[in-house]
């Protein structure tokens, strides 16, 4: 039996299906949660490198160390919310954005203590990751934009690499 060009069906083989990104709320949740976990881990490691311990967190932070420790504590609360709520791309993207913002605060402290070179690069990468996470969570995409999420994922991966190069992780 032969097919004419007009009778061809789209290729839905498993190989072809993997090229189509998942944009279901569950798939988006996995992506946002992975980015949030990565940013939180980066913030935690960076704080540890900079000598900022968990007990520096204060309910009303007054110094850089207490602000960074409190931000890491709050990002941990955001991570916990992933398992306590239904998938919501907008809320999940905001959680990832908050974790990335915590990592920027930690990077500011580490950069001020280390100074120059790889620390400056790691700080800038953390800032770009936070901005990209913010864009993914913003009104335009509300956590569902494939392009903005891909940019945020790439920026997070670059921030991890830069933090590792700086010796923060």
pLDDT tens-place string over residues 109-165: 999 999 889 999 999 999 999 999 999 999 988 999 999 999 999 999 999 999 999
pLDDT for 127 equals: 98
Q: Where are the domains of the chain?
A: 23-166
Judged against a pLDDT cut of 90, whether residue 166 lies above it is answered with: yes
User: Contact at 8 Å (CB) between 159 and 122?
Assistant: yes
Judged against a pLDDT cut of 90, whether residue 38 lies above it is answered with: yes
**What six digits make up the tokens of 41?**
């881990």
Q: CB count, 10 Å around CB of 2?
A: 4
Q: What is the pTM of this model?
A: 0.83
């Amino acid at each position: 039996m032969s097919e004419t060009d007009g009778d061809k069906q789209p290729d839905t083989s498993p190989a072809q299906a993997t090229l189509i990104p998942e944009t279901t709320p569950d798939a988006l949740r996995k992506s946002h949660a992975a980015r949030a976990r990565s940013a939180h881990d980066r913030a935690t490691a960076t704080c540890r490198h900079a000598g900022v311990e968990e007990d520096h967190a204060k309910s009303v932070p007054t110094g850089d160390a207490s602000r960074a420790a409190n931000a890491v504590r709050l990002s941990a609360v955001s991570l916990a919310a992933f398992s306590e709520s239904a998938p919501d791309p907008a809320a999940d993207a905001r959680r990832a954005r908050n974790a990335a913002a915590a990592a920027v605060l930690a990077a500011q402290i580490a950069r001020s203590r280390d100074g120059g070179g790889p620390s400056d690069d790691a700080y800038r990468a953390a800032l770009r990751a936070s901005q990209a996470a913010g864009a993914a969570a913003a009104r335009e995409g509300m956590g569902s934009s494939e392009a903005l999420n891909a940019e945020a994922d790439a920026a997070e991966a670059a921030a991890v690499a830069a933090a590792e190069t700086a010796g923060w992780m």
